[in-house]
Structure 1
Amino acid sequence: MNKLWALCMFLLLLTTACSDSDSVRPRIPEVYVDEQINVNSQLYPGLRQDNGYAYVAGGYKGILVVRQNAGQYLAFERACPHDPTSTCSGVEVDASNLFIVDACCGSQFNLQGNVTGGPSVYGLLQYRTALSGSLLYISN
């Protein structure tokens, strides 16, 4: 009986802890994402070099694709996690091409989507990517 009670208390605490953290984090509205782009297309010249990037339609406020290397691309939601429903435009790569910034709130992120400064305490929402030949598939 004591083991059952202890297990129930543990599960109750675990459930409570998870729900508290979810309620604090701003929620980016969920949208269906199923995009594909040709990374060799003339439309995306930035994707031909490491740390290059491109803006793609899709997601909630758009998608930012960043090339890590010839075989790995990351795709991020452009809505800033600090205030995702703000009417300001989404995050953009800074003119230095060294980091990502939200001009509205000042949050900064590295090219892997991790927060590096500003009011946001959460990294960028990342979408799944899969590369097949020159086609990059982006989904959630």
Structure 2
Amino acid sequence: MLVGCKDSYEGPAIPEVPVNEQINVTSLQYPELRRDGGYVYLNAGYKGILLVRQTASLYTAFERACPYDPTSACGQVKVDQSNLFIVDECCGSQFNFQGNVTSGPAVYSLKQYRTSLSGNLLYISN
């Protein structure tokens, strides 16, 4: 079993909601997760989860609420059309696929959820 997570999150107060998701990464529902750099959006977390396949054995799950202003109605990150970075079109902040800020006004990284892979099943939790 492999785990990818951050021990603590230092950033703005993103409302805490329970996250306990399980997906089959080989499911026909998620064809994007069959290649490194592929991603999907999940309806979980506070404003959604962006799940990224880093490698066949490592997945990262980010909260979609932008850390610049997480309670803003439009503060939600998504993958840019170029597929090179993650952006919040509301405030203009940009992040890399490790969740780190590459361009502000955000100064905090994206909130990351725990992931663990067991066979084809990926578990996402907080």
Determine if the TM-score, normalized by the shorter chain, exceeds 0.5. yes
How many angstroms does 1:43 deviate by? 1.5
1:126 to 2:115 alignment: no
Q: Counterpart of 1:107?
A: 93
Distance (whole Å) between structure 1 residues aligned to residue 23 and residue 104 of structure 2: 31
| Structure 1 SS opposite 2:26 | coil
Select the structure with the greater relative contact order (CA < 8 A; seq sep ≥ 6): 2
Q: Which amino acid aligns with 1:44?
A: Y
Query: For 1:1-140, what aligned pairs fall within 5 Å after superposition?
Result: 25-88=11-74, 90-140=76-126
The number of aligned residues is 117
Contiguous gaps of at least 5 residues in structure 2? 1-9
Distance (whole Å) between structure 1 residues aligned to residue 24 and residue 108 of structure 2: 30
Rg bigger for which structure?
Answer: 1
Q: Deviations over 1:88-124 (max 9, x none)?
A: 1520001111110001000000001001002000000
Q: Which amino acid aligns with 2:103?
A: G
| Structure number having the greater helix percentage | 1
Q: Which amino acid aligns with 1:45?
A: P
Distance (whole Å) between structure 1 residues aligned to residue 76 and residue 25 of structure 2: 22
Distance (whole Å) between structure 2 residues aligned to residue 29 and residue 116 of structure 1: 24
Q: Which amino acid aligns with 1:121?
A: V
Distance (whole Å) between structure 1 residues aligned to residue 29 and residue 92 of structure 2: 29
CA-based RMSD of the aligned residues comes to 1.1
Distance (whole Å) between structure 1 residues aligned to residue 41 and residue 60 of structure 2: 12
How many angstroms does 1:75 deviate by? 0.2
Distance (whole Å) between structure 2 residues aligned to residue 69 and residue 127 of structure 1: 17
Where has structure 1 moved over 4 Å in runs of 4 or more?
A: none
Q: Which amino acid aligns with 1:139?
A: S
Distance (whole Å) between structure 1 residues aligned to residue 114 and residue 101 of structure 2: 19
Distance (whole Å) between structure 1 residues aligned to residue 44 and residue 84 of structure 2: 24
| Structure number having the greater strand percentage | 2
